[in-house]
Structure 1
Amino acid sequence: MSAAETTTGWTTIQRVILPSADQTDTVPLYVDAGTASGIRLRENDELARTPKLPEEKLQMFSSGGQAAHFEDLLGRHSMRVRSGEQISFGTYFNAFPASYWRRWTSVRDIRLVASTRGTGTVTVYKSNARGSVQRVDGRHVDGTTTSVFELSLKPFGDGGWYWFDLAASSEELVLENAQWETTGGGPETPGQVTLEITTMNKPDFCLNNARILAANPDVLQNVKEILIVDQGTQKVEDEEGFAEVRAALGGKLRIINQANLGGSGGFARGMYEAVENGSDYALLLDDDIVVEPESIARLLTFADHCRTPTIVGGHMFDLYNRSILHTFGEVVDPYRFVPAAPHADMEVRHDFSVANLRQTAWLHRRVDVDYNGWWMCLIPTKVIREIGLSLPLFIKWDDAEYGLRAREAGFATVSLPGAAVWHVSWIDKDDLVGWQAYFHERNRLIATLIHSPYPKGGRVLRESVQADVKHLVSMQYFTEHGRIEALKDILKGPGDLHQVLATKLPEINALKAEYPDAQLKEDVNDFPAPKLGRGPMGGAVVGMPRKKDLIPWGIKTVARQLIKAPGPESAERPQAYLAHRDNRWFRVAHYDSVVVSNAEGTGASWYQRDPKKLKSMLTEATALHLRLFREWDTLAEQYRSAVAEISSIEAWKKTFEASSRDGS
C-alpha cells in the first residue's frame, strides 16, 4: 500500500486483501459467505433462557451461510463471486475498523472504492458498538465499474466497523480490487520504519518471514531496514537459501549477532538501531510467527495518521489453528498486576471459523488497551527518545511495563484490528514452571514496584506467597528455587539488571541437576513403572478446594507433607503417571512420587516429595516475602528512580557493545 496521494487528493489507507495459496485455513479471516448478519441470542432473550439449549449455544448461532470457495480467489486483491451467490468482506482483515480511526486520528471522512467486472450489486454496511448491523448504501453494477461510496466516521465514537458485500446476479461478478481512502490527516511524507526480528535458534521461522517480506515488496516501500537480531547458536545466515532471500530484499536486510539477552535485549536492540539510523518507527516482531505482510503497511499508515505519537500493535492468531484469535487486547489489572481482558464480555481465543465478525457482538466494541505484545508492535522513535528502551528484564513483562511507562508519559497504545501475525500459541506451554518461573516472579514484582498505585502493590505479595505454597506442595522444587532467587535479586535493587542480563539464565539452568522434577525424559518408559494400584486417593477425582476452605486446606496439606515421611518405595518407583492437564496443585499434593508430562507433550519429569526441601524453601520464601513487605516503599522508590537510567540509550549501548563481542 502506497501512501502517495492519487490525482484526486485521496490516499489509500487500507486495501482489501486475500490469503495466499498456501493458507486455505485462513479464508474466514479475509472473506465470508452468506447474508449480512447472523442470528445472535442474548442471555435475556426468551430462547436463550430455554433450559433445553446447551450452554455453548446460548450466545450465538451461525447464519447458515456457505463457506467461500477458495478456488474463487484469483489473486492477492481479486476474487470471483459465482452467479446467485453473495460474498462479504465484513471480516477481520477486510472490514474497516472505523471506531479506531475515529478515536485516535483526525480522519473523519473516508470513501470506499471498489472496482468490479460483471453484473451484480455492491452493498455497504456498518455496525455500532453493540454489534447491530445497518445497511448504508448500495448500487447495481454491470460491466467494468468503479463504485465510490463516501462515508463518515462521526458515528463511531464507541465502536463499529464498515464493510461491503458483493452479490452476483445471473452471471459471475469479479472484484478486481478495493480500498478504503481518505484525504489529509497524515504527514506529507510517510514515516520510515526499521523492522526488527529478535530470534533465538529459530532460523527457519526467520528465513520464512524474510521470504514473505521479499515476496511483498509493496509493503516494504517505507521500511528503511530489516534487522534480524540473532542471539542463538543456530544462525539465520547459515540457513540454506539465506543468500537468495538477502538478495531479494535489495540490501535492506542486516543481521546483528549478539549474546543471548532475551527478548528484552533483542527488542531493545531494535529500538536502539531505529533511533540510530533515523527511522520514525521501530517495528518489533517475534521470531516464531508467520506475518500477514499487509499488516506492516496498515500499522505504519495508522500511526502516521494518529494525532499524537502512538504505539500501534497487531493482534496474535494461533499459528497451529489459524482462524483462532488469541486475544483482542489486554490491560493490566492494577490490584493483582496480571494481564486482564478490558471488558467482561470479551472472549479469549475466538474462532472466526465458528462465528464471524458480523455475528459476534463484542468484536464491534472498541477495545482500549494498556500495552501490546511484542509479537508485533510499532513504536515511534519519538517515544523511545523520551521514555527510553525496554527494561533489561530478559523475558516476561518487558512489553507490559513499556506500555504502562508510555501511558504515564502521555503516549497511548492501540491494538489495531486488521493487523496481525500467526504466533506459536502458549496454550500448550506452562511458563510458570521451570526456568521461566524466575523471570515471571522477578519481573512481575519489578513492574509492580514501579507502576502499582496501591500500597504494598495491592494483592501481589499475597498471591506470590500462595504461588509458593502451590509449587511446594506440588513437589516443584526447582521452580520454587528459581522464585526464591528472584526474591533475593529484587531485594538487591535495580543496579545489577544489566550486568546479569546475559548470565542469569545459565545460572538458573545450572540448578536443574539438583532436582529430579527438572530432569526431563522424552519417553515415559524411561521411568520405573508405577506400582499396581490407583494412587493415594484410591482413584477418586480430586477437585479444587472451595475458596473458603483454601487456607485450612493449605495448612493441613503443608503440615502433612512436613510431618509424614514419604514411603521408602517412592524413591524407587512413582505412584502414578499424570498427564499435564491433571497436573494441578490440589491433585499432585496428595502424591509422594509421581511422573508428570510437560505442557508441550515432549517429555515427562519425576516429582518426588522431600519434606526437608519443603521446610527449608517455605521458611526462606516466607522470610523473603516479609522482608519485601517491610522494604516495599524504599524498593519502589529505588526502582522508579532507576528506570530512566537503566532504560537509557547510553546504558543499553554499553550492554550491546559487550554482548556483540560475546555473540560474534
Structure 2
Amino acid sequence: MSEQNYDDGWTIVQRIILPSSDQTDTVSLYVDAGSANGIRLRENDELYRSPKLLEDKLHLFSSENREAHFEDLLTRHSMRVRSGEQISFGTYFNAFPASYWRRWTHTRDIRLSVNTSGSGTISVYKSNARGSVQRVDGKHVDGASTSVFDLTLKPFGDGGWYWFDLAASADDLVLESAEWLAATVEGAKGQVTLQITTMDKPEFCLNNARILAENSDVLDNVKEILIVDQGSRKVQDQDEFSAVHESLEGKLRVINQVNLGGSGGFARGMYEAVENGSDYVLLLDDDVVVEPESIVRLVTFADHCRKPTIVGGHMFDLYNRSVLHTFGEVVDPYRIVPALPHADMETRHDFSTANLRQTPWLHRRVDVDYNGWWMCLIPTHVIKEIGLSLPLFIKWDDAEYGLRAREAGYSTVSLPGAAVWHVSWIDKDDLVGWQAYFHERNRLITTLIHSPYPKGGRVLRESVQSDVKHLVSMQYFTEHGRIEALKDLLRGPEDLHKMLGTKLPEINATKARYPDALLKEDVDEFPAPKLGRGPLGGDVIGMPSKKELIPWGIKTVARQLIKAPGAESAVRPQGYLAHRDNRWFRVAHYDSVVVSNAEGTGASWYQRDPRKLRKMLTQATKLHMQLFRNWEELADRYRRAVSEISSMESWKKTFDAASEGSNQ
C-alpha cells in the first residue's frame, strides 16, 4: 500500500485487513462475533478467580452462533455481516493502538472511514488503560455509504484502543473497506530494505517472498528485498526461485556469505540498507510467516514518530497461530535477563480463548527496551550514529542493540497490529548444547557494557549456579561451551569478529568427547535399563526448597565428586527421561540416564563422570574468580570497543572475507 493522501490532508495509516483463504486458524486475530463488551475480566471478578466458571462462560461466548463465518470473508479488505448478526473489529490486527500513536508520534487526532453497502449500524468504541470499554459514536447506514468519524487521541496517555463493530439489520451488511487516517506528514514516505537472514531454510524464505509478491501493494516503499544466505542449501538453487524472483520485478537480491550467525546476517542487512540509501532496514528471521500488512504499518508508524525510533512487530506461534508469544520485553537490569514490563502480563496469550476486548492487560501500553529481530524496523539514521550489531553470532544481539540505542536517546516500540508467525522456542532448550557458549558469553558481554550495578549485579552469581546445575546434570558438553565462553570473554573484545565464522565449528568438533552431546534418533539404539536401577526406586524427585537448596547442593556435588558411579551405569542407563522431566534436581540423582531432547527428534545418554565434574568445576570457579577481580577493567575495555567493532568499516572487512569464503 502506497501512502494514500486525501485532498483534505488525511493519510491512511492503518487499513482493515482480513486473513487469506489458507489462514482459517487466524480468524480470531482479525474479526470476532458478539457484543462490543464481550466478557471483560477484572481481578475482583468471580470469573477471574474461578477457572470452571471462566471455562463455561468462554464456551458460551465462543459457541457456534458467536463465531465469525469464514465464508463471509470476501477479500483481504471486505466481509459480509449476515442479517441479525454483529461483527467486531476490536481485534489484534484491526483495532487501532491509540495509546502508541499518542505516546510516540505528533498525531493527536485520527479519522475512521468505513465504506459499507447494505443496511445496519456502525458503532465506534474505545478503551482505556484498565480495559474499560466506552461507546464513542455510531451511525445507521443504508445502501452504499461512506461513514467518517473524527476521533481524538488525547485521553490515551497510558493505554487504550479504538475499534468499531458492525451490526446488520434485516438484510446483510457488507464492509467494502475501512481505514484509520492521520494528518498528512510532509515527506513521510520512508524507503525500507527488507532483509531476511537464513541458514538452510530456503523453503521459508521463498514462501515469504511469494507472500510479498502476492501482496505487492505493501511493497511500494520497499526499496529492496535482501536475503542473506549463510547456509549450504542455497535459496537460489531451489526450483521455485526463478519464478519468485521474476514475480518481485527486480526487488529481490540474494547475498551468499559464510555462516556468521544471526548477528552477521542482520548486520549485513543494516550495512546494505545504509549503502543503498534506505531510510530503514526491516530485519526478519527466516523461520517466519509474515503478515504482509505489518510492513506498511511499521514504516508508516516510524514515519510519523517524533524522532527516529526502532519499531518492532510481535511474534505469534507458527504452529498455534492464535497464540501471541509475548507482547513486549525489557531487560531486568539486576540480572540481565529478558523480563515482562508489567506483572499482570501474560506470555502465550491465546486470542481464540480470550479476545482483545476480554483481556484488560492488553489495553495498557507496554514500553520496551528492545524488540526481537524476528521482525524489527531500524532507522538507518540510528545505525549511522550507534553502529551495527555487535559480532555476537547469536543470542543477545537484539537486546544489546536496543539497550545501546536507548543509551543514545533512541527508543524502541513493539507495535500492536504488526506481527509474524514464528517457530516458537517454547519447545526448545537452547541453554544446552552448542548454543550454551553463546548464551554465556553474550549475556556477560551485554552485562559488562550495560549493567548499572557493581560487578554486574546478580549475573556472576547466577552464572556460577548455572555451572553447578549443568555439571550435576551430567551436561558436560554444555559446560565445556560455557567454560570456553568465559575464556574468550576474558581475552577481551578484540577478536570477536575473527571468531564469528570459526567458533561454532570449534565447539562442535569436541562433541565426540561427550556422550551427552551425541544424539540418536531412537531410544532403542541405547541399551535397555534394568528394572529398579533408578534413584529412589523411581519415585518423583521434586525441587529442593529455598531453605534446603544450599545443603542439598553441597551434598549433591560432594556425592558426585567422591562416590564413583556404579560399574553397570557405563553398560546400560538407569532409565529414560522425557525432556520435560530433565530438571537438574532430578537428573542429579542418576549415574546414567537417557534423556530426550526438546525438539523430540532424538535422545542422548547422560553418564556421570567424577573426573570431568572435578576438572570443570575447578576451571569454572577459577575463571569466575578472575572475572570478578578484573570486572571493572574488562567492562571498560568492552565499552570502549563497542564503536569500533560495530562500525561499518569493521563489518565491511568481515563481510569481504565472508563473501570470499562463500565462493571458495
TM tier relative to shorter chain: over 0.9
Aligned to 1:35: 35
Matched, 1:347 2:346: yes
Deviation at 1:54, TM superposition (A): 3.6
Letter in 2 for 1:93: F
Aligned to 2:368: 369
Aligned to 2:283: 284
Secondary structure of 2:383's counterpart equals: helix
Deviation at 1:47, TM superposition (A): 6.2
Aligned to 1:170: 170
Any idea what the Cα deviations from partners look like across 1:131-171, whole Å, max 9, x if unmatched? 00100000100000111000000010000000000000111
Aligned to 1:9: 9
Give the Cα–Cα distance (whole angstroms) in 2 for the partners of residues 518 and 47 of structure 1: 47
Give the Cα–Cα distance (whole angstroms) in 1 for the partners of residues 547 and 111 of structure 2: 58
Letter in 2 for 1:563: I
Secondary structure of 1:497's counterpart equals: helix
Call closer, same or farther: CA 1:471–1:55 in 2, change over 3 Å.
farther
Secondary structure of 2:205's counterpart equals: helix
Structure 1 contact 48–58 (Cα < 8 Å) conserved: no
Matches within 5 A, 1:261-660: 261-533=260-532, 535-660=534-659
Secondary structure of 2:71's counterpart equals: helix
Give the Cα–Cα distance (whole angstroms) in 1 for the partners of residues 518 and 18 of structure 2: 46
Aligned to 1:64: 61
Letter in 2 for 1:126: K
Give the Cα–Cα distance (whole angstroms) in 2 for the partners of residues 608 and 130 of structure 1: 53
Give the Cα–Cα distance (whole angstroms) in 2 for the partners of residues 234 and 81 of structure 1: 47
Call closer, same or farther: CA 1:521–1:46 in 2, change over 3 Å.
closer
Structure 2 contact 18–78 (Cα < 8 Å) conserved: yes
Give the Cα–Cα distance (whole angstroms) in 2 for the partners of residues 438 and 429 of structure 1: 16
Call closer, same or farther: CA 1:56–1:619 in 2, change over 3 Å.
farther
Aligned residues: 660
Secondary structure of 1:80's counterpart equals: strand
Deviation at 1:551, TM superposition (A): 1.0
Any idea what the Cα deviations from partners look like across 1:288-327, whole Å, max 9, x if unmatched? 0000000000000000000000000000000000000000
Call closer, same or farther: CA 1:169–1:157 in 2, change over 3 Å.
same
Deviation at 1:59, TM superposition (A): 13
CA RMSD of aligned residues (A): 1.3
Call closer, same or farther: CA 1:41–1:161 in 2, change over 3 Å.
closer
Any idea what the Cα deviations from partners look like across 1:264-309, whole Å, max 9, x if unmatched? 0000000000000000000000000000000000000000000000
Call closer, same or farther: CA 1:365–1:47 in 2, change over 3 Å.
closer
Any idea what the Cα deviations from partners look like across 1:105-144, whole Å, max 9, x if unmatched? 0001111000001000000000000000100000100000
Give the Cα–Cα distance (whole angstroms) in 1 for the partners of residues 627 and 129 of structure 2: 44
Normalised to the residue count of structure 2, the TM-score between the two structures is 0.98
Any idea what the Cα deviations from partners look like across 1:185-208, whole Å, max 9, x if unmatched? x34240000000000000000000
Letter in 2 for 1:315: H
Give the Cα–Cα distance (whole angstroms) in 1 for the partners of residues 366 and 47 of structure 2: 29
Structure 1 contact 60–359 (Cα < 8 Å) conserved: no
Secondary structure of 2:121's counterpart equals: strand
Letter in 2 for 1:115: N
Structure 1 contact 32–89 (Cα < 8 Å) conserved: yes
* Structure 1: stretches of 5+ with no match in the other structure: none
Secondary structure of 1:40's counterpart equals: coil
Higher mean displacement: 409-418 or 34-43:
34-43
* Structure 2: stretches of 5+ with no match in the other structure: none
Give the Cα–Cα distance (whole angstroms) in 2 for the partners of residues 415 and 225 of structure 1: 23
Deviation at 1:60, TM superposition (A): 8.6
Deviation at 1:536, TM superposition (A): 1.2
Higher mean displacement: 521-530 or 62-71:
62-71
Structure 2 contact 570–607 (Cα < 8 Å) conserved: yes
Give the Cα–Cα distance (whole angstroms) in 2 for the partners of residues 639 and 187 of structure 1: 41
Give the Cα–Cα distance (whole angstroms) in 1 for the partners of residues 533 and 36 of structure 2: 55
Give the Cα–Cα distance (whole angstroms) in 2 for the partners of residues 328 and 43 of structure 1: 20
Letter in 1 for 2:428: K
Give the Cα–Cα distance (whole angstroms) in 1 for the partners of residues 456 and 564 of structure 2: 38
Give the Cα–Cα distance (whole angstroms) in 2 for the partners of residues 48 and 603 of structure 1: 40
Matched, 1:155 2:155: yes
Structure 2 contact 432–478 (Cα < 8 Å) conserved: yes
Give the Cα–Cα distance (whole angstroms) in 2 for the partners of residues 180 and 189 of structure 1: 17
Give the Cα–Cα distance (whole angstroms) in 1 for the partners of residues 98 and 40 of structure 2: 22
Secondary structure of 2:499's counterpart equals: coil
Structure 2 contact 329–341 (Cα < 8 Å) conserved: yes
Give the Cα–Cα distance (whole angstroms) in 2 for the partners of residues 56 and 653 of structure 1: 60
Call closer, same or farther: CA 1:177–1:47 in 2, change over 3 Å.
closer
Letter in 1 for 2:180: W
Deviation at 1:48, TM superposition (A): 5.2
Structure 2 contact 47–54 (Cα < 8 Å) conserved: no
Any idea what the Cα deviations from partners look like across 1:448-484, whole Å, max 9, x if unmatched? 0000000000000000000000000000000000000
Structure 2 contact 58–353 (Cα < 8 Å) conserved: no
Give the Cα–Cα distance (whole angstroms) in 2 for the partners of residues 256 and 521 of structure 1: 35
Matches within 5 A, 1:131-280: 131-184=131-184, 186-280=185-279
Identity %: 80
Secondary structure of 1:39's counterpart equals: coil
Letter in 2 for 1:155: P
Structure 1 contact 37–63 (Cα < 8 Å) conserved: no
Deviation at 1:535, TM superposition (A): 1.3
Letter in 2 for 1:188: G
Deviation at 1:596, TM superposition (A): 0.2
Give the Cα–Cα distance (whole angstroms) in 1 for the partners of residues 409 and 656 of structure 2: 31
Secondary structure of 2:538's counterpart equals: coil
Structure 1 contact 330–342 (Cα < 8 Å) conserved: yes
Letter in 1 for 2:488: D
Give the Cα–Cα distance (whole angstroms) in 2 for the partners of residues 56 and 200 of structure 1: 47
Normalised to the residue count of structure 1, the TM-score between the two structures is 0.98
Call closer, same or farther: CA 1:525–1:116 in 2, change over 3 Å.
same
